[in-house]
Chain A
Amino acid sequence: MPRAMELDINERRGERTPLDMLLKDIALGSRQAFEKLYRDSSPRLFAICLRIVSQRSEAEDVLQEVYATVWHKAAQYDVERAGAMSWLAMIARNKAIDRIRSQPQTRKTEPLELAEAVPDPTASPQLDAQASADRVRLDECLNELDERRRSLIRAAFFDGSTYEELAVRIGSPLGTVKSWIRRSLLQLRECLER
């Protein structure tokens, strides 16, 4: 798996990376390129799916859907718009979130403690050591947010929880949660564009 990490750490928008080239070959029908892309990227995409769709068999199912989509849509990948790993990660997130939205019984209800400042237990330390410039910048801007708002944004992003779920999980009114998140997003944008 270290191979996948090397690939995406160096990823920058607009530059060709091995994943970019694989996607280009996949768009032309190369199964070999597809298999290599799967080997290099699937542990990361599986982590994303598993975090959102907690049930393992469901997450495996979503991952199949993700790669079927990658095979069919590789030609639509636009290197100017997103890095290859980001593009793959966004497909995985979207499929995983669509899956849990279609199954109301899978709503996340476990309480969320916003004050805790513990590092994410599933964080990837290798990336922390060699974080890309974008990553450092996003971290800086997230760190400018109030600690509780920061953990709310992170929980929303990683778990794919809705406003309603988050309100229940932290025991605050829905309007308040919406308002915090929207203000945090605006603050984040302002910081990232500074």
Chain B
Amino acid sequence: MKIEFEALYRDHYRRVFGLCRRLLGRSGQAEDAAQEVFVRAYRSLDRYDTHQPFAAWILSIASNHCVDLLRGRAREAKLFDDFDTEIDALDSSAPAALDTLVDAQRSAEIRGAIAALPDKYRLPIVLAYYNDANYDEIAHALGVTRNHVGVLLLRAKQLLRHSLAASQEES
């Protein structure tokens, strides 16, 4: 199987880097992670099913790698709390959903707020809304149940609303 790997690299680097950067948040090292993703892809090229889009394959490698990285960092503490703890953490008095018009500045603020989220909330939100993964895929990638994914996503959005409301008050 001969694949022009360099061309694939050029075509997909931005997207892979983008995903790593968003998944890893403020902790950085996205560039290293992206390089590592391509190294891993290169080494397992023989396992790549050519009927599948390359983007989907390499992005799944990227998300797995980033989740592994974050898991590694959270070695002492578990990355994800159990489902009940998470349900209890849901905020019944969270501000209403974001629905203001998004200009460039606001968009950057939102990205900043996402980057600042705790890993366990940032991961599902990036996978769902940047990588367009469904709950099953996210559940599989994070090793949690599907409902747990729903809770994490809602909690993530509630935290975003809080932090964006706060930043708006400041300004």
Note whether A and B form a binding pair. no
Residues of A whose CB lies within 8 Å of any CB of B are none
Which residues of B are in contact with A by a Cβ distance under 8 Å?
Answer: none
